Every structure is written in C-alpha cells, then in structure tokens.
Structure 1
Amino acid sequence: MKPINWTEVQESTGSTILEPGAYVCRITDVHDVPGKEYLWVVFDVIEGPNAGIYAKMGPDDEWKHRFAQSYKDTAKGMFKAFYTRIQESNPGFVWNGTDERQFIGKEIGLLFRKEYYTGNDGADKERTVVDYAICSQDVRSGNFKVREPNDRRDDKSVPFGEARPYVAPAPMTGAYSPNGQTMDYSDVPFM
C-alpha cells in the first residue's frame, strides 16, 4: 500500500440518503445510452433543507444522484410524461424532441420512494429511489402522494443501474500456464 498521511484524512460518516417525498431539483447532466435506449439523468436538490446535497460530489459519484429514464418503444408514454413535467416546471421552455442536453439546467420535481432489495452480497438492503417526475410547482404546493415502498427482495434480476460482480472461475486442477507448465495452487489459502 502506498504511504498516506492519515492525520490529514477525514473519516467518512456514511452517505446522505434523501427521505421519501418530493423535492424540487435541477438536472445537472444527462447521458444518453443509445444501445439500451435510456438516459441517465443526474440531478441535485435546489430547494429546502436538502438543497445542494449532491453539489460537492464529483463526476465519479454521479451514480448516487441519477436515475434512468427509458425512451424504448414500450416506455415512450413515460418519457413523454417526463419531458412534459420539465416543460411545465420551466415556463417558456419547449423541448425540441431530440436533444436531451436541453434538459441540463432545467428544474423538475422528483418524487422519491423507499425500495427494499437484496444486494449482491445476499443481504437485504434499502434505498430511496426516484419514483417519477412531477411538476416542481406540485412539490411546492404539496400536491403529490408518496407511494408505498417497492419491495424487490424476491426479484432475482439485477437492480437497474447495478451490475453483478464478475467472479472468475477457479483454476482447474492441473491447469496449465501460457507457457505449458502445470500450475501449482497449493499455497493459495482460499482455493
């Protein structure tokens, strides 16, 4: 391990998780994933006690404050609802229908709900996720209803946005190295 001056390092206190509810947010970035037909929408809260909660996080932490918005044929109605809520939240803004980068800097209301899931380690976990977009004026007026938690603990599929870790198969007994010599794994403690 490289030498690190641990006296200058501040301890991590854990991550900040938004509670279920509605928040007025600003879209800070958008990434198109054309092969899978969805957008990663990166956001930050801009009003209330949680304003700027994600502002100090760098681009490596976008996964903590982004959600996927599909535009597949089967999800076109949901995508239309998404961009319509952006237009309603930003009077005078009309999306051109093709340039997702136009969403950057726009205000939107986001409704969050609790989700229970089974992590890759097999443990039951919970998180707060974006449920859907609403008009930011509806957040301010309290015109929204938070849905019951989504329980995905029995769902064996990979949670959207997460990848299963790759575990390489164990070497076969009598496996050969690239130069043709038999490999000896007797000193490897976890085999």
Structure 2
Amino acid sequence: MKQINWKDIDEAKDYEYPGAGGYVCRIVKVEDKPDREYLLVEMDIAEGEFKGFAEAAEASTGNDWSYIRLYRSYKEKARRMFAAFLGTLERSNPGKFTKNGFDGDEQKMVGLTIGVVLGQEEYEKKDGDIGLRTVVKKIMTPDKIRKGDFTVPELKKLVVSQQTTPEETTVNDADLPF
C-alpha cells in the first residue's frame, strides 16, 4: 500500500442534511433553458446551521447534487408566476434588483438572496426502494424565513398502487371462455 501520513487526514463524518423547513438562500448559478423556456436557479443556504452546505459538499465530493434547485418557467402561460418570482427577488434584495428593471439577463440574479421553504417527498428508486428527496415548496423573502412566518410542509408519502394477487382475484365461471 502507498505510504500516507494518516495523522493529517480527517476522518469522514456523517453529514446531516437540510430537511424540510425554511432557509435563507443565495443564488449561486442561473442557467437559461431557452428551448424549454425556463430558468434553472441553483441556490446554497446563506445563513444558519447549514450555511454553505452545498458548496462544502461539492468541494468534498466534486458533485453539485446538494444545491437547491428551483425551476421557473417563462412560457406565456407561466409569465404571471415568473413575475411573482421577480417580485420576490426585488422584495428580498431592495436596491439590488427590480422586477420592472429586469432586462432578461438572468446572470444578474447570481448573488441575490431569497427565502425558500423546503419540503420532503418520497419517490420510488430504480431498484424499487423508496427514497426521500427535498424540494422547494415555496419562495418568500428572507425576512419571513428569519421571523418563522412560514409553514413546514408535511412529508409527501409515495402512493403505492395496490396490486391483487392471484388468490385475491375472484372469477365468475360464466366469464370463462371454456
């Protein structure tokens, strides 16, 4: 085995992940998807116990999976919702961003703060197991998050369809073709 000075290597630790709740976040990356007419907004937690969580996770793993992702459509049918998003950015960043002054340059959103309420939901993994993912349920100003003026959503359980077993199936003899 290669000689390594193990006294200089910190042990891996179990990470506690941000769960359902309210967080003040900083926008770290915005990517326009013009063919689908939406923005992919990536955020990291900017305050509190999990401050810088995604950046630290990316630095240690090389993967960007821990950033909070928000998708905002600007298709014609969704423009009022997109305007609400811009308004929330304006109220969250007074003097730094205005909805009416937004010129379509999504990169001007990088560095802005916003409040997010995260919820958790179950999903079925490829192997059939049930996993848990954290998703943005609501956006608001950071002040509302700091004041605790939000509701933490309940866990969204996966609805598993009930399949009948052969023993549970009843057949009427008259329905049989033989």
User: TM-score higher than 0.5 here?
Assistant: yes
* Cα distance change on mapping 1:46 and 1:121 into 2, 3 Å: same
CA displacement at 1:40 relative to structure 2: 1.7
Which among 67, 71, 94 is matched to residue 98 of structure 2? 94
1:64 maps to 66
* Cα distance change on mapping 1:5 and 1:152 into 2, 3 Å: farther
Whole-angstrom CA distance in 1 between matches of 2:4 and 2:158: 40
* Cα distance change on mapping 1:19 and 1:6 into 2, 3 Å: farther
DSSP 3-state at the match of 2:107 = helix
Q: Which has the higher helix share?
A: 2
Structure 1, unaligned runs of 5 or more: 156-191
1:28 aligns with 2:32: no
Question: What RMSD in Å do the two structures reach over aligned CA positions?
Answer: 2.7
Count of residues in correspondence between the two structures: 153
Whole-angstrom CA distance in 1 between matches of 2:51 and 2:63: 17
* Contact 1:118-1:154 at 8 Å conserved across structures: no
* Contact 2:92-2:142 at 8 Å conserved across structures: yes
Q: Which amino acid aligns with 2:47?
A: E
Q: Which amino acid aligns with 1:149?
A: L
Map Cα deviations across residues 61-119 of structure 1 (whole Å, 9 max, x no partner): 32321312222333323322222111111012214141111110001001101111111
Structure 2, unaligned runs of 5 or more: 162-178
* Contact 1:20-1:113 at 8 Å conserved across structures: yes
Percentage of matched positions with identical amino acids? 33
How does the TM-score come out when normalised to structure 2?
Answer: 0.72
